[in-house]
Amino acid sequence: MSLSAPPTGGPSSCLELLQRMIGFDTVNRSAEGEPFAEAALAAYLESVAAGWGLQTTRLALDGGFNLLVTHPADPAGPWLMFDSHLDTVDVGGMTIDPFGGQVTEGQIWGRGACDTKGSGAAMLWALREAAASGDLSVNLAVLYTIDEEVGRRGVRAFVDHQLSTLDWRPRGVVVGEPTSLRMVTAHNGTVRWSIRTRGIAAHSSDPRQGRSAISSMARVIAAMEQRYIPSVDARHPLVGKAECSINLVRGGSLINVIPESCEIWLDRRIVPGEDGAEVPAAVEAVLDQLRQEDPELEVAQQPPHIEPALAPETNGEFAGRVGRVLESLGLSAEAVGAKYGTHASNFATAGLPAVVLGPGHIAEAHSAAEHLAVEDLERGVELYRQLMLQPATAWW
Ligand SMILES: [Zn+2]
């Protein structure tokens, strides 16, 4: 089948492709235990790509898979990879049909339109057009990853296991997120963990027989807010200041029982240059002060989930080359920072230079009426297509 003739039933435009993608419910369900909400969308993209003569590979993990779509052009040439996640945040409180994909007022509406099915559709459409041009010296890949919004199991599996099974390594990775087509070369990472206190349960008719884990936690919270959080002052010129906040609390069991346990969850934003693995030790020093003040205090930190920050030093040369293409299209080549996290830091940690670049505004991501301007989608296709059409020398 010719690359320029979509198969019967396949999307006839990038806009239609995005509408179809929005129609799949890919709400990340890791928290509720659904392992692979992205399955049907991945299978659909696989069939569309195969119908256009592109190669597809399922990279298996945990009963699901990341989908790799490739177009090998020159065995001696470099590889350029694009990455887009398939999952979305939930649809609670949305004021539009989350899966409708309606187009009105020059906008396409639905969950994921902006974060980040828009970039995913633009990447596949650009790959189709680039492959059809037949004049490529760069090998191209689009990776569709699962589970970005909660656990990042998809990208972790790719860099930890799947990458080494390929007989190529990308020269660089373009991560699709709504950056308004600005090139993000630095962003925050996260450290998320909990702190537990233990008490002694007793009947509330005689509280002195027990020890309240909630009272213990009140002292821990005060110490975190007065001693630890003010000490979080690392800064980076592209992303600003590091942050820490206590955002969840759970304690006690019944109205008439002195609480035996209490737990808080913390979110610490690390800036490029900070090592998330060092956070627990700094917190432990504060907890040690509390233990000295009250030898009966039982408090313990749980192991953290760490996502690294993206440091611009890890992608300098690749970012410079992407910047030259942006400039040639009349777009800003200035490297900017972001407060949110993306897969780019996971790729960078694995030694793959990565920048974040995609259509749409981050303010629309996760919003009640999520949408993407059709014009922005088209600009995204054009940018990705131009990146794909660069000669091999552009990436050496
Ligand atoms: Zn996203």
Evaluated on CA atoms 254, 257, 259, 261, the torsion sign reads negative
Angstrom distance (rounded) from CA 52 to CA 71 = 11
pLDDT of residue 230 exceeding 50, the answer is: yes
pLDDT of residue 361 exceeding 80, the answer is: yes
pLDDT of residue 226 exceeding 80, the answer is: yes
* Over residues 344-367, mean pLDDT: 94
362 C-alpha vs ligand 1 centroid, how far in Å? 9
pLDDT of residue 390 exceeding 60, the answer is: yes
177 C-alpha vs ligand 1 centroid, how far in Å? 5
pTM of the model: 0.90
Angstrom distance (rounded) from CA 90 to CA 98 = 9
358 C-alpha vs ligand 1 centroid, how far in Å? 10
Number of residues written out for the chain: 396
Residue 380: what pLDDT? 97
On average, the pLDDT of the chain sits at 94
Q: Around ion ligand 1, which residues have CB less than 5 A away?
A: 115-116, 177
Please, which residues have CB within 8 angstroms of residue 59's CB and are 6 or more apart in sequence? 65, 66, 67, 68, 157, 158, 162, 165
Residue 9: what pLDDT? 63
Residue 1: what pLDDT? 37
Residue 31: what pLDDT? 57
Burial level of 180, CB count in 10 A (0-12/13-18/19+)? middle
| Tens digit of each residue's pLDDT (9 = 90 or more) over 251-283 | 999 999 999 999 999 999 999 999 999 999 999
85 C-alpha vs ligand 1 centroid, how far in Å? 7
Angstrom distance (rounded) from CA 179 to CA 344 = 13
Residues of the chain with pLDDT > 90: what percent?
A: 89
* Over residues 326-342, mean pLDDT: 94
116 C-alpha vs ligand 1 centroid, how far in Å? 5
71 C-alpha vs ligand 1 centroid, how far in Å? 24
pLDDT of residue 200 exceeding 60, the answer is: yes
Residue 126: what pLDDT? 98
How distant, in Å, are the alpha carbons of 32, 229, 271, 369 from that of 239?
32, 18, 7, 27
338 C-alpha vs ligand 1 centroid, how far in Å? 13
Angstrom distance (rounded) from CA 168 to CA 366 = 35
Q: Are 282 and 352 in contact (CB under 8 A)?
A: no
